């Protein structure tokens, strides 16, 4: 188990990220956290900003009541800001916000308004700084992620296949696509650290086929590797069957059923990992409290399939699975971008 103490090397890691985000001497920076945020990361953010000559201040809100029927984990949709208009006023406007909320603002309903006001946001994933230290943002990754984003935007469809039986078709026309490389210096943008992803949120009725989860794939809501095969049948965006006679299948069936709402079964986003430093096997090395699983979302060549909220399709729910799969082949129109878990061409 890792010790929660301030280390000089972790201050340096945070400072390096803030420099990549364009923070300069004298800049006022807002550090947003909540009462249950990882205190060590909040302290490291403050010390790193002081170290590079910025002027940070803290905005801390109480962690909201749990209202969901099951534990909520790794949604990227913090509810800590809801109904707090005076707080939103403090967060709007030019300058950097360091997002250290538990779930993060990436899919929060307040995000469009914040970005529209010129705010730039760096979301520090709720990981122990040992994880963050190993995965510093690499500026060389930015052009590759941008290339992947362009390929997604230009493509009409995605097809995903695997030797285990995955056969998934995704229409991309009308989808919202994007990518993250781990830092942001432009007003009106958000990034998360660790980074390295290309994603698309398909419009309604775009996803059909079969997704087969194999041993070694991961369910990051559970922070657990699958130990047996589970097959998801997907019809017009919705998981209509979870096939498998195993503990892994039972966990998924019961968790989704517990939400009591159809949208928990819907497709959120699809894409692939781009970060060559991220490791698919990292989760075996940490206690669950020490990780949020962002590394596994980003490891190079994974196919990332997620269920839950999708604003492009007009669907909203707190239920959320992030499922990074290994050894898949991903094609955009007729061109492969990933072959059996390996990035291809200029993306590699």
pTM of the model: 0.94
Greatest C-alpha distance within the chain: 59
DSSP bridge pairs for 329: 161
CA neighbor of 253 nearest in space, from 222, 278, 298, 279: 222
The phi and psi torsions of 295 (rounded to 5 degrees) equal: -55, -40
Residue 264 carries which DSSP code?
G
CA neighbor of 188 nearest in space, from 117, 135, 103: 117
Per residue in 38-83, pLDDT (tens digit) is 999 999 999 999 999 999 999 999 999 988 888 888 777 888 898 7
How crowded is the C-beta side of 43, counted as CA atoms within 13 Å? 11
Residue recorded with tokens 């403050």: 46
Domains with residue ranges and CATH for the chain: 8-134 (3.40.50.2300), 141-177+195-347 (no CATH)
Q: Are 13 and 125 in contact (CB under 8 A)?
A: no
Distance CA 50, CA 70 (A): 39
Is residue 226 scored above 70 in pLDDT? yes
Rg, Å, the chain Cα set: 19
Give the tokens for residue 32.
């947003």
Distance CA 301, CA 283 (A): 17
Label residue 107 by pLDDT band (50, 70, 90): confident
The phi and psi torsions of 212 (rounded to 5 degrees) equal: -110, 115
Residues in Cβ contact with 270 at an 8 Å cutoff, skipping those fewer than 6 apart: 158, 160, 170, 199, 200, 202, 207, 303, 304, 305, 306
**pLDDT of the residue at 142:** 97
Distance CA 336, CA 331 (A): 4
Distance CA 42, CA 121 (A): 15
Q: Count the Cβ atoms, other than its own, within 10 Å of residue 87.
A: 16
Q: Count the Cβ atoms, other than its own, within 10 Å of residue 169.
A: 14
Per residue in 254-304, pLDDT (tens digit) is 999 999 999 999 999 999 999 999 999 999 999 999 999 999 999 999 999
Type and span of the H or E element at 50: helix 39-51
Distance CA 348, CA 199 (A): 17
Is residue 116 scored above 90 in pLDDT? yes
Angle, CA of 172, 173 and 178, to the nearest 5°: 60
């Amino acid at each position: 188990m890792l010790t929660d103490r301030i280390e000089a090397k972790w201050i340096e890691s945070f400072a390096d990220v803030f420099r990549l985000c364009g923070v300069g001497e004298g800049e006022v920076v807002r550090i947003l956290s909540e009462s249950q945020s990882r205190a060590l990361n909040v302290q490291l953010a403050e010390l790193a900003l002081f170290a590079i000559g910025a002027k940070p201040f803290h905005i801390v809100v109480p962690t909201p009541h749990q209202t969901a029927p099951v534990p909520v984990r790794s949604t990227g949709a913090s509810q800590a800001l809801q109904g707090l208009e005076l707080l939103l006023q403090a967060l709007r406007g030019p300058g950097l916000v360091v997002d250290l909320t538990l779930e993060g603002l990436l899919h929060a309903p307040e995000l469009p308004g914040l970005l529209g006001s010129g705010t730039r946001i760096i979301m520090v994933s709720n990981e122990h700084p040992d994880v963050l230290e190993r995965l510093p943002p690499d500026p060389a990754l930015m052009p590759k992620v941008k290339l992947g984003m362009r390929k997604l935007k230009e493509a009409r469809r995605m097809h995903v296949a695997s030797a285990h039986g995955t056969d998934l078709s995704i229409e991309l026309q009308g989808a919202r696509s994007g990518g993250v490389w781990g830092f942001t210096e432009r007003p009106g943008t958000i990034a998360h650290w660790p980074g390295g992803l290309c994603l698309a949120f398909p419009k309604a009725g775009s996803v059909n086929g079969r997704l087969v989860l194999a041993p070694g794939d991961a369910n990051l809501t559970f922070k657990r590797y699958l130990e047996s095969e589970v097959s998801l049948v997907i019809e017009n965006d919705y998981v209509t069957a979870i096939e498998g006679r195993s503990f892994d299948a039972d966990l998924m069936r019961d968790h989704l059923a517990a939400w009591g709402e159809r949208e928990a079964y819907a497709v959120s986003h699809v894409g692939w990992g781009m970060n060559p430093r991220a490791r698919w096997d990292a989760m075996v090395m940490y206690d669950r409290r020490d990780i949020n699983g962002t590394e596994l979302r980003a490891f190079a060549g994974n196919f990332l399939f997620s269920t839950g909220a999708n604003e492009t399709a007009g669907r909203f729910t707190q239920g959320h699975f992030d499922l990074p799969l290994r050894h898949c082949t991903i094609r955009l129109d007729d061109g492969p971008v990933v072959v059996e878990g390996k990035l291809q061409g200029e993306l590699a």
